[in-house]
Chains A and B, each alone.
Chain A
């Protein structure tokens, strides 16, 4: 609790960011980014209803370099949030709380998310 007369001790920038703290931050950030992605997805669907001209503009935007970059980011966020979400479900039933175990299942989720993102984009661009 803060007492305004006394200084507040350093926190965020004086603390060492361990793996679990970083994972937690990425989980939350990926959730926020995904909510923007959902709005963009809805915009793409709405543009279909709005007619051919609107749809071609929106489709062009999604196909541009920036659009592809955003889609790539969203797919990674989707897979990371999914994998780490499964980790959270494990925690909710009381599993995976050991110090080593929590580090391992975090890394496992991250690696699977990277593989799934890479696999999807290979499928999209090549397949």
Chain B
């Protein structure tokens, strides 16, 4: 059953304020979710006033500036800083996205930063992704074949067949889509979520894969697939501009067409 309120240990308290240096020219306030597992205290929102004249253009630049110059305890995941690793996925200005590809100037007013929504928080902006990855593994994201490969060549695809999997293959597993979804918030124990469903769609439309029937059998379940109610938060959140909502609709169509 859906739990709309946060449990007592998760309610967010007021935190500290770190003011900008006196000679700062262009100050922006960053409100960042903080949780220290060693203190035993509730999460809090710390405020950091940053001089944008002395800071890189992206949200991630500001966060790295905070970590290296103001508060080294601020904890977050990041790696590639160019939107391909998916590590710095978080909820910025009310929408899940990557901190490295969102420009500070594209956010109006104070910048609020939370971890991905409705996740178990390990520390600060680092959520526990174990369950998310387990869901990805559960859809068997690899090529399954029954037929032998051609003796003298690889399993080739036509250009059109390749194009079917091009877009869904661009998913970087950042979890922005799944964790933007209210259905996933209330039912993540049984609903696979947008990311895993987009991943299984990629294999369902792969002309070389022979396990289409088995994959559809696994999905034909009131929760795993059909908890998607086309709220479409996933599509609006995706930092790679993919369309998980449409992929899920295509899977639903495949299940209907199979019965005809």
Contact = CB atoms under 8 A, between A and B. Distances in A.
Interface string B222-237: 0000000111110110
Contacts of A98: 243
Contact of A7 (B35, B230, B231): B35
A123 interface: no
B7 interface: yes
A52 interface: no
Contacts of B161: none
Contacts of A91: 230, 245, 249
Interface in B45-86: none
Given A9-B91, A99-B235, 14 more contacts: A7-B43, A8-B10, A8-B118, A9-B118, A9-B119, A9-B121, A14-B94, A14-B114, A14-B117, A15-B91, A21-B232, A24-B232, A93-B253, A98-B243
Given A18-B236, A20-B233, A12 B182 contact: yes
Contact of A21 (B42, B131, B231): B231
Interface of A: 1-4, 6-12, 14-16, 18, 20-21, 24, 28, 88, 91-94, 97-99, 102
Interface residues of B, number: 48
Given A16-B95, A94-B250, A97-B249, A9 B33 contact: yes
A99 B243 CA distance: 9
A6 B249 contact: no
A11 B117 contact: yes
B256 to A, nearest CB: 8
Nearest to B11: A7
Interface string B31-44: 00101010000110
Interface string B91-120: 101110000000000000000101111111
B117 A9 contact: yes
A16 to B, nearest CB: 3
Given A8-B118, A97-B235, A99-B236, A15 B10 contact: no
B195 interface: no
A6 B43 contact: no
B185 interface: yes
Contacts of A4: 7
Nearest to A3: B120
Given A14-B117, A15-B94, A9 B127 contact: yes
Nearest to B43: A7
27 contacts: A6-B37, A6-B120, A6-B121, A7-B42, A7-B43, A7-B120, A8-B6, A8-B7, A9-B114, A9-B116, A9-B119, A9-B120, A12-B185, A14-B91, A14-B94, A16-B95, A18-B95, A18-B233, A18-B236, A20-B236, A21-B182, A91-B249, A92-B252, A97-B232, A98-B243, A99-B235, A99-B236
